[in-house]
Structure 1
Amino acid sequence: MKGEFMSLILTTILHFAATNIDDIFLLLTWFLQRDSKLKSSHIIFGQYLGFIALVILSVIGALGALIIPQEWIG
């Protein structure tokens, strides 16, 4: 049981890293283009705001999966 849980945690971390590689390049580009209109604080705030929005939508989807009958989801 403990080995399965650790495997799940490792898989989750690897998937998170793999799906966020493009985000590193976007952030790098935005930080290189910052000026008086686009400040570092704007980029950081937008990054956190977007990530929080994704987490909230994921939680809503997970809770929705508990409500919707399993036969409908597949």
Structure 2
Amino acid sequence: IAVVKDSNDPYEDFRRSMLQMIMEKEIYSNDDLKELLNCFLQLNSPSNHDVIVQAFTGVWNEAVSKSPKKPCDDQSHES
């Protein structure tokens, strides 16, 4: 549901809204996250697009930094 809202801190409001949607809708895949970004962009005025992308980038970076790291396959190989 889209809600019209005046904000003193649009970055934080968009960030919180994105995190809420991620938790409620259990959005975890990259494709689903990209779809979420597209929804925010479509539902909001172009004048807000820069701050939406900034908030999304912050959420994305936070999610990536908290995801479990895969072990490197750099181990020595015998020839």
Task: Establish whether TM, by shorter chain, passes 0.5.
Answer: no
Q: What is the TM-score of this pair, normalised by structure 1?
A: 0.42
Bigger relative CO (Cα 8 Å, ≥ 6 apart): 2
Question: Which one has the largest radius of gyration?
Answer: 1
